[in-house]
Amino acid sequence: MIILGLNAYHGDSAACLIRDGEIVAAAEEERFRRIKHWAGFPSEAISYCLAEANVSLADVEHVAVNSDPRASFLKKVGYTLRHRPDVGLVLDRLRNQAKRHSIEAELAAAFPGTPFKGTVHRVEHHTAHLASTFLVSPFQEASVASIDGFGDFASAAWGIGRGTAIDVEERISFPHSLGVFYQALTQYLGFPHYGDEYKVMGLAPYGRPTELARMRQIVQLGEGGRYALDAAYFRHHRERIDYAWEGGSPQVGRLFSAALEELLGPARGSDEPLTDRHRDIARSVQAMYEEAFFHLITHLHARHRLDALTLAGGCAMNSVANGKVLRQTPYRRLYVQSAAGDAGGAIGAAIHAWHRLAGRSDAQMQVKPAALAGDPLSGRTIMEHAYLGPAADGSEIAALLAERAAEIEAAGCRVEQIEGEDVLCRRTAEAIADGRVVGWFQGRMEWGPRALGNRSIVCDPRRADMKDILNLKIKRRESFRPFAPSVLKEHVADWFEEDGDVPFMMQVFQIREEKRPLIPAVTHVDGSGRLQTVYRQTNPRYWALIEAFRELTGVPMVLNTSFNENEPVVCRPVEALECFLRTRMDVLVLGNAFVSRGPG
């Protein structure tokens, strides 16, 4: 059975392909279109998934989409009758739903001459989110929660997962949303772009939670883990908000009302300097989010008394809050998928459809051996890694370097072919230890927003000036944003106060106090680090690189940031080479090719 899963007509459009329960391929559309968070129909990602599986659209039996316009129909009607929102808002919602009904037409337009003869399944948004985390987790039983902006008229859903079934017990419906709260306050702080919430998360440790009392006026906690927004501070529930969800970078109009500025003072313009007041508000926003988040998940634990939790939805990208789960709650195990946000709904919709269509009991379910390990106890595919995107073989890389040889030479660079992985990793580790900035392009591209060692820029975490060097040479981003460490799993407990599995860089842990001076480039102002635990069995070459660096320096980690320059993470070798050439990166390791730049 071949199932194509889609996140369409929303930011981070994406596709995945599942064959007999095995995740064969998954990628976000932005990587091919080269526009961040690209929204629309993911035709390029679909083409990649089909090619990776060596099938055509005619071979696909089922398409599963992470949205069901029919969901919560009565709630939508009831809300409209009670609150009578702006006519423009209602018309926008109707137009958006019409688009989501046109999957068959979109496939026909994108793949002319290749008919799709299968069935389209529309999976409710939060059901897809929950499936995207629990049904690929290593847990037989767990509390499950999905928290985001909105999808299918809901902003959160939670319950319990057992085996291959998920029981959704409760939801929070429009207009109340932690995702909208965080996004609106992100806009208020002068970060207007879709996906800028991580900037507030990075800024928060520089401030104090002086505005928490006011935040509690904006978000109120209720019984049973619930929360609600004071609607006076928002516009999304009564006015038409400008959205752009089709064919480009997502755009979202202003979500907060004038009442928010009356409460907190004037909003910051994007070109205005950051002050201590803005830092304190950022800290207060994060603190309020954490209050509501822990209010929900501790209620879940009290209800189920399980030691495992799985999270999904855009809010599950809040790695600071995630990193406190095992410290501040009775949970002992946590799983957050690498694409926790809307892109991950493509996998969730497909996995949900697979288990529903297979129609077998846990004992009967069989999953073929694959790159993602099959779990014989539950009949589920465990997502242990995120390397599900395109790869490039040696011949493609060699052809590119030959074609661009004159340009490479003119830039003062030389190309060496290095035979032997040990030699390659040792040579690269030496460059990192010498303070050089290294682009590392290996294997299959990562699924999700984080670079996890295959499309990464790697540097020396010991250098206090490395953040400045990176921002000067490549990143050109705000100085308050931290860089992350990739750490050998065997050494996590020696360097961090917690010892956990964080393969997807979705949790922030406190670095041991005595270790912080040794790795200043990856130690945030509050002593934390958003780590990625690296395993020999899931990424042997990246593990070998870090091990080579450890042998040279005694430090079992490297600074890891995404291989890009204010663009989506590189996907193909040509994008890696072009990023290297137009920036001041020192070394590019492209497969077995070692491209180095002269001094300066």
Q: Domain 178-334 maps to which CATH number in 3.30.420.40, 3.90.1150.10, 3.30.360.10, 3.40.50.1360?
A: 3.30.420.40
Q: With bands split at pLDDT 50, 70 and 90, how would you rate the model's confidence at 360?
A: very low
Q: With bands split at pLDDT 50, 70 and 90, how would you rate the model's confidence at 477?
A: confident
Over residues 496-510, the pLDDT tens digits come to: 999 989 999 999 999
Spatial CA neighbour of 575 closest among 436, 398, 439 = 439
What integer pLDDT is reported at residue 311 of this predicted model? 98
Q: What is the mean pLDDT of residues 60-86?
A: 72
CA distance 133 to 317: 13
DSSP string across 216-239:
HHHEEE-GGG-EEE-GGGBSTTTS
What integer pLDDT is reported at residue 10 of this predicted model? 87
* Consecutive H or E run containing 432: helix 421-433
Answer yes or no: are the C-beta atoms of 380 and 164 closer than 8 Å: yes
**Residues found in the chain:** 600
Parallel/antiparallel/unpaired status of strands 413-417 and 438-441: unpaired
Answer yes or no: are the C-beta atoms of 555 and 546 closer than 8 Å: no
- Percent pLDDT > 90 in the chain is 86
The answer, yes or no, to whether residue 244 has pLDDT greater than 90, is no
What integer pLDDT is reported at residue 9 of this predicted model? 85
Q: With bands split at pLDDT 50, 70 and 90, how would you rate the model's confidence at 362?
A: very low
CA distance 325 to 335: 11
The answer, yes or no, to whether residue 369 has pLDDT greater than 50, is no
Over residues 462-473, the pLDDT tens digits come to: 999 999 999 889
CATH code that applies to domain 2-130+339-381: 3.30.420.40
Architecture of the domain delimited by 394-597: Alpha-Beta Complex (3.90)
Over residues 414-457, the pLDDT tens digits come to: 999 999 999 999 999 999 999 999 999 999 999 999 999 999 99
Tokens of 118: 């299968």
Alpha helices in 502-572 (DSSP H): 540-553
The answer, yes or no, to whether residue 246 has pLDDT greater than 90, is no
pTM: 0.93
Report which DSSP code applies to 397: H
Q: Give the distance, in angstroms, between the CA of residue 480 and the centroid of all CA atoms in the same chain.
A: 20
Q: With bands split at pLDDT 50, 70 and 90, how would you rate the model's confidence at 86?
A: low
CA distance 531 to 319: 10
Over residues 505-545, the pLDDT tens digits come to: 999 999 999 999 999 999 999 999 999 999 999 999 999 99
Residue at token pair 């928490």: 212
- Top pLDDT among 32 and 153 is at 32
Tokens of 168: 């959704």
- Average pLDDT of the chain, as a whole number: 92
What integer pLDDT is reported at residue 218 of this predicted model? 98
Exposed/middle/buried for 100, CB within 10 Å: 0-12, 13-18, 19+?
middle
DSSP string across 120-148:
EEE--HHHHHHHHHHTTSS-SEEEEEEEE
Report which DSSP code applies to 481: -
Tokens of 101: 């009904």
Cite the residue boundaries of each domain of the chain with CATH code 3.30.420.40. 2-130+339-381, 178-334
Cite the residue boundaries of each domain of the chain with CATH code 3.90.870.20. 394-597
What integer pLDDT is reported at residue 368 of this predicted model? 33
What integer pLDDT is reported at residue 551 of this predicted model? 98
Q: What are phi and psi of 551, to 5 degrees?
A: -65, -30
Tokens of 361: 């009991």
Over residues 259-294, the pLDDT tens digits come to: 999 999 999 999 999 999 999 999 999 999 999 999
Spatial CA neighbour of 182 closest among 202, 198, 170, 171 = 198
Q: What is the mean pLDDT of residues 153-162?
A: 96
